[in-house]
Structure 1
Amino acid sequence: MYELLEKVKVLEPTNPNKSTALFGGKASGILNWNDIAYPHFYQHREQIRALFWRASEVDMTQDTKQFPTLSHQEQDAFLKIIGLLATLDGPQTDVASRISNLSTDPSVKSIMSTIADQESEHNHSYAYVLSSVTTLDKQIESFETGRTDGVLLKRNERILEVYNEFAESPTLLNVLKAMVYTSLLEGLFFYSGFAFFYNLARNQKMVGTSTMISYINRDELQHGRFISDLFRATLAENPNYNTSEFTNWVYDQFRHSVEQETTWSWYVLGGIDGIDLIEMEGYIKYRANKMLRLLGLSDIYEGFTENPMKWIRAYVDNFDDTKTDFFEQKSRQYTKTSDLNGFDEL
């Protein structure tokens, strides 16, 4: 039987400022960024904070005009994918807050609070996009997708199971499992949806929406990096959880998630001009391998170490690049890119 973690007190002056453990340790609650247990967490904090943006700063004027001109398949995929993204991003604010409440490291609390705020803006952005391009009835219908679409419900069964178990029984093991699924959300589950919007953009369609998606995508990449780092550090502090049984559980979740993401992509992207579904399946496996490496594990899909969808790299900024000036919205010209374009491999 695993012991439940307790919510951390706001202030406990008898404890040291530097936390003694990420979870289940002691800390005063006073955060001094120059005296934290994991100094490199400060770089995560700075990188995540540097990504501030608001949905309302993205110009949707052309998208409003273009949406009615999309094919029926494109409109249907657009609404279903927004529904998927809202279903996944909405709970992330809550999950980030719950992890924050359980951590005894004040630097983790601070970073997770920023992540929670950004996830809230992601969810708002989906409503903002839909309100710009379609009627209220269609907006509501899109947000109902996560509760009513059979394929999506099947796809999200394990996410629901792991997140709800974490909420109801916040043990350290369930925190670790929630981190695994947060990593999957940030680094794998969104990507067939992102690809759909980027494919529209490279055909000069719905560029405002794709711009918004690229901002979200970049946030998720940074979130995924921090969560993976936090996961590894937590396991290092608690080596008794670093078992072959748990490792096999993680691999099983990744295999299952790749299967579900692939099924979803064939369901929602079938017939979309410009999307090669075989290529998409390879891209999903490539993303899974990359996220496993971030978690400190090995590839499970041989031959998928390189991004098979090179063109998608033009739509997200490099991790280390200076952020785009979001306050000077410009019309983007999207073109296929070479391997030498300098963008980070997604």
Structure 2
Amino acid sequence: MTNNTSYQAINWNAIEDMIDKLTWEKLTEQFWLDTRIPLSNDLDDWRTLSAAEKDMFGKVFGGLTLLDTLQSEDAIERLRLTARTQHEEAVLNNIQFMESVHAKSYSSIFSTLNSKAEIEQIFNWTNNHEVIQYKALKINDIYKNGTDLQAKAASVLLESFLFYSGFFAPLYYLGNNKLANVAEIIKLIIRDESVHGTYIGYKFQLGFDQLPEAEQAELKNWVYEVLFDLYQNESKFTQMLYDEIGLTEKVKVFIRYNANKALQNLGFDPLFPDTADDVDPIVMNGISTGTSNHDFFSQVGNGYLLGAVEAMSDSDYTQWL
């Protein structure tokens, strides 16, 4: 970014990679904050849920908070070291901020739906349970000790795959006319993560294509091994969260489908046979619906009207580039 004689000002009129500019515009167009979503409107729905359902949601959002914290604190710091352009570094700065917004959004949900004692219990579980910690520590170890391309691949696996066991619940309950505002936040986060995963996957592919054939094969095998290991842990996580309410098998289909999406972002073939047709249509419909709430006082909707809030189809919710 600099040379020995001067510090280089970023020049957005001299773009080296047009994907950097397009991604910046996409991310700023869909900027949002959790404070604009009326979560308290979901309290009546929350009171109708069973103790098992409330416990599931607490653990779901605790796990999502952990992963977003990892992305905001460690992932982007690592990826920034390998930025090809100043514009790429600017995009990564935007991604880092929005990952922090995502993490904070879950605390907004907790403060609305849970007591102080319940919140402390959720975070204690999140910070200490071996299954949820396994995936966070494995990804972070790659950030700390992996190669540049391994770090990019790990970030894509997290963004495009590991989040989705948690995303399933609010989308499913939205389809059953419950917790609409909680689901609104999740849909906004999914919209962001779809861009993050695709963009970082694109940067991975640029580097991958420059490797000798033997190194490509070695890295590709490594990615599949890491993904399958994470999938086995994710299956345990899914059973732990969803067995009691009978949704485990539906969630497993969803996470396998998104594991394939992560591989697609990296330029690789799918590992699992699951397709969009196998995913519960209620959940796919939740993904494919644009944001719905609107603040009539400020005339700002949850999409913030910085650009039209497009509906996301199966083909573009992780593949918009």
Bin the TM-score by the shorter chain: 0.7 to 0.9
Say whether 1:311 aligns with 2:282: yes
Say whether 1:44 aligns with 2:23: yes
Once the two structures are superposed, what CA deviation does each residue of 1:119-164 show, in whole Å capped at 9, x if it has no partner? 0100110111100111112112222223222332334442232233
Q: Is 1:290–1:305's contact at 8 Å kept on the other side of the alignment?
A: no
* Equivalent runs, 1:239-258 vs 2, <5 Å: 239=212, 242-258=215-231
- In the TM superposition, what is the alpha-carbon distance from 1:326 to its structure 2 partner? 5.7
Give the letter for the 2:3 counterpart. Answer: E
Decide which of 58, 72, 79 is 2:51's aligned counterpart: 72
Identical aligned residues as a percent: 24
User: 1: CA distance between counterparts of 2:301 and 2:204?
Assistant: 38
Give the letter for the 1:292 counterpart. Answer: L
User: 1: CA distance between counterparts of 2:301 and 2:91?
Assistant: 30
Say whether 1:153 aligns with 2:133: yes
Look up the match of 1:144.
124
Give the letter for the 2:260 counterpart. Answer: N
Q: Is 1:235–1:241's contact at 8 Å kept on the other side of the alignment?
A: no
User: 1: CA distance between counterparts of 2:25 and 2:65?
Assistant: 26
Say whether 1:12 aligns with 2:12: no
Q: Does 37-46 or 191-200 show the bigger shift?
A: 37-46
Q: Is 2:69–2:99's contact at 8 Å kept on the other side of the alignment?
A: yes
User: 2: CA distance between counterparts of 1:257 and 1:314?
Assistant: 26
Instruction: Kindly tell me the number of residue pairs found equivalent between the two proteins.
Output: 303
The alpha-carbon distance between structure 1 residues 330 and 71, as it changes in their structure 2 partners (threshold 3 A), is farther
Give the letter for the 1:57 counterpart. Answer: R
Q: Is 2:288–2:312's contact at 8 Å kept on the other side of the alignment?
A: no
Say whether 1:343 aligns with 2:313: yes
* Equivalent runs, 1:1-346 vs 2, <5 Å: 11-12=2-3, 29-94=8-73, 95-165=75-145, 173=147, 175-239=148-212, 242-272=215-245, 275=247, 277-301=248-272, 303-309=273-279, 310-317=281-288, 327=295, 343-345=313-315, 346=317
Q: Normalised by the size of structure 2, how large is the TM-score?
A: 0.85
Structure 2 counterpart SS, 1:271: helix
The alpha-carbon distance between structure 1 residues 307 and 109, as it changes in their structure 2 partners (threshold 3 A), is farther
User: 2: CA distance between counterparts of 1:344 and 1:116?
Assistant: 25
RMSD after superposition:
2.7
- In the TM superposition, what is the alpha-carbon distance from 1:35 to its structure 2 partner? 2.1
- In the TM superposition, what is the alpha-carbon distance from 1:327 to its structure 2 partner? 4.1
Structure 1 counterpart SS, 2:8: coil
Q: Is 1:215–1:316's contact at 8 Å kept on the other side of the alignment?
A: no
- In the TM superposition, what is the alpha-carbon distance from 1:265 to its structure 2 partner? 1.0
User: 1: CA distance between counterparts of 2:81 and 2:90?
Assistant: 10
- In the TM superposition, what is the alpha-carbon distance from 1:242 to its structure 2 partner? 4.0
- In the TM superposition, what is the alpha-carbon distance from 1:43 to its structure 2 partner? 1.1
The alpha-carbon distance between structure 1 residues 326 and 215, as it changes in their structure 2 partners (threshold 3 A), is farther
User: 2: CA distance between counterparts of 1:110 and 1:160?
Assistant: 22
Structure 1 counterpart SS, 2:94: helix
Q: Does 111-120 or 131-140 show the bigger shift?
A: 131-140
Give the letter for the 1:243 counterpart. Answer: Q
User: 1: CA distance between counterparts of 2:152 and 2:294?
Assistant: 30
The alpha-carbon distance between structure 1 residues 306 and 117, as it changes in their structure 2 partners (threshold 3 A), is same
Q: Is 2:293–2:301's contact at 8 Å kept on the other side of the alignment?
A: no
Give the letter for the 2:119 counterpart. Answer: Q
Segments of 5+ residues of structure 2 without an aligned counterpart are 303-310
User: 1: CA distance between counterparts of 2:20 and 2:226?
Assistant: 27
Once the two structures are superposed, what CA deviation does each residue of 1:57-97 show, in whole Å capped at 9, x if it has no partner? 00012223332331011010011011100110002112213
Structure 2 counterpart SS, 1:53: coil
Give the letter for the 1:12 counterpart. Answer: N
The alpha-carbon distance between structure 1 residues 198 and 104, as it changes in their structure 2 partners (threshold 3 A), is closer
Look up the match of 1:5.
none
The alpha-carbon distance between structure 1 residues 91 and 343, as it changes in their structure 2 partners (threshold 3 A), is same
User: 2: CA distance between counterparts of 1:29 and 1:236?
Assistant: 28
User: 1: CA distance between counterparts of 2:48 and 2:63?
Assistant: 23
User: 1: CA distance between counterparts of 2:21 and 2:48?
Assistant: 46
Structure number with higher helix proportion: 2
The alpha-carbon distance between structure 1 residues 141 and 180, as it changes in their structure 2 partners (threshold 3 A), is same
Structure 2 counterpart SS, 1:40: helix
